[in-house]
Structure 1
Amino acid sequence: MAFTLKSSAFADGDKIPPRYSRDGGNVSPPLEWTDAPQGTKSFVLAVEDPDAPSGTFRHWAVYNIDAQRNFLPEGTTAGAKTESLGHGVNDFGNPHYDGPQPPPGHGLHHDHFRLLALDAETLHLGEKAAVEDVLKQAEPHVVGEAELVGTFERA
């Protein structure tokens, strides 16, 4: 089977509910995945919006997700008691999830939730590492990728 990422909050290609937007509850949606590639030692999750007026906008990155995990619950801010999740600093300047908030009237935006399976157990990054830096350090270790795309628009 294929490595897949899904959410009980919205289907691939569907609208992200306002609860998961920056104007709504601003909580991360529940995410779950199946069939990680052989040799996966950890995961990185990143959320990016390539439709932003200034280029790709990075909303979130979580790294050092244990390879035994297959979900992140709604409102993920920390790991399980046995796990220390790292959070990249997003383009809002925050080390946590910030949901979609495109400029009003800018049209439909596509938020890409990308789950990277890595052959490394740990990425060694500082507390203020940007989402972009998380992805750069993860890149040489990627053994698989799953993606879920949600849309969002502000009138």
Structure 2
Amino acid sequence: MTILGTLLKNKRAGEAHLAWNLPAMAGPEVLGLHSSEFEHGSVIPKAHIGKRAGGENHSPALAWSGIPASAAQLLLVVQDIDSPTRTPFVHCVALLEPDLVTLPTGALNAGSPVQGVRVLRSEMGHGYSGPEPIKGHGLHRYVFQLFALPTAVTSAEGDATLDTAKPRAVLATVSGPALARGRLDGLYTR
């Protein structure tokens, strides 16, 4: 796999197609999103890395502040902007009740229900999928994005249900702009 990573070293999805840059997700950057387990711009600990990369695949604890009182729902999207794909790889999509201000470790994993959290499909199944970049591809940036939405997401584009829809079909139904948004970037390489 190291050879493949080296060959794809210059192939990166980039920020252009990040949920953060979608017109419906635009909004004031006033949410304070952070984790007690890693700082913005620092390395994501092994506990939150995918199992194929030697981690435990637990979603990190998250906390936020600044949710507007008029928010109908929160949308959390985790994407790898350095994946060697056309668009950033989606590691998690979740809908949260607007009165939540924290998520404990593992709250975004499939089969770990937390009241007020609806974990949807990611690119690799259901729920949080920890970082597992190709060996030798270099440093990857994982962007945790939280959006306070003016209206709740209740359906997905196309025939799929909200729980089975691909992430892009869910994001396509968001009516914006977002009331507020916040971002936390984590790093990982192998």
* TM-score in terms of structure 1 length: 0.88
Spell out, residue by residue over 1:97-149, the C-alpha distance to the aligned partner (whole angstroms, 9 max, x if none): 00111100100000000001011244334121122222222252521110000
Q: 2:169 aligns with which of 121, 124, 133?
A: 133
CA shift for structure 1 position 38: 4.2
Answer 1 or 2: which has greater strand percent: 1
Instruction: Deviation per CA, 1:37-82: give whole Å up to 9, x if none.
Output: 342121010100111011311100001x1111111111013231xx
Q: Which residue of 1 aligns with 2:4?
A: none
| Distance (Å, rounded) in 1 between the aligned partners of 2:32 and 2:103 | 14
1:99 is aligned to 2:130: yes
Equivalent in the alignment of 1:61: 93
Supply the AA of the counterpart residue of 1:54. T
Answer yes or no: is 1:89 the counterpart of 2:118. no
Find the partner of 2:43 among 8, 15, 22.
15
Verify the 8 A CA contact 1:3 1:37 in the aligned structure 2.
Answer: no
Moved more, 134-143 or 101-110: 134-143
Question: Is the 1:40–1:67 contact (alpha carbons within 8 Å) kept by the matching residues of 2?
Answer: yes
Partner of 2:189: 153
Distance 1:122 1:79, change over 3 A: farther
* Equivalent position to 1:2, from 30, 41, 44: 30
Question: In structure 1, what is the Cα distance between the partners aligned to 2:183 and 2:63?
Answer: 11
Listed as ranges, the gaps of 5+ residues in structure 1 are none
* Bigger radius of gyration among the two: 2
Are residues 1:112 and 2:147 paired?
Answer: no
> SS in structure 1 opposite 2:71?
coil
Could you tell me the TM-score, scaled by structure 2's length?
A: 0.73
The 5-angstrom pairing of residues 30-49 of structure 1 reads 30-49=61-80
After superposition, the CA RMSD in angstroms is 1.7
Structure 2 CA distance, aligned partners of 1:104 and 1:50?
16
